[in-house]
Amino acid sequence: MKEYDQVELIVEKECYAKDDVHIGMVGWICNEQRVNGQWLVSFDQYGELPEIACISVKEVDLKVITPSQYDVKRNTKILEDWVECSGLD
């Protein structure tokens, strides 16, 4: 892993949940150095909303994803939210 990699949280843990970060969320590594096996990760909201959290996450709890995987995941979530809000499901 390296700075600016897009990553997905692959576990659900209380230490992350207290900052509203949950399994399946996508963020990006925002520091060039890993400290004690952890990376500083920014979890952004969709669009131009402020970030949800910027927290240290254990490397073993992250999976690097390609931009295309991220775009599919992001666009699927946007579509699911739209369908739910529109009552078309």
Nearest alpha carbon to residue 60 among 37, 30, 84:
37
Q: In this structure, what are the phi and psi dihedrals at residue 84, rounded to the nearest 5 degrees?
A: -60, -45
One-letter amino acid identity for 56? S
pTM (predicted TM-score): 0.71
Q: Where are the domains of the chain?
A: 6-86
Nearest alpha carbon to residue 51 among 24, 32, 30:
30
- Examine the pLDDT at 49 and tell me if it is beyond 70: no
DSSP 8-class letter at 35: B
The per-residue pLDDT for range 54-82, each reduced to its tens digit, is 999 999 999 998 765 556 565 566 556 66
Residue 27, Cβ neighbours under 10 Å: how many? 25
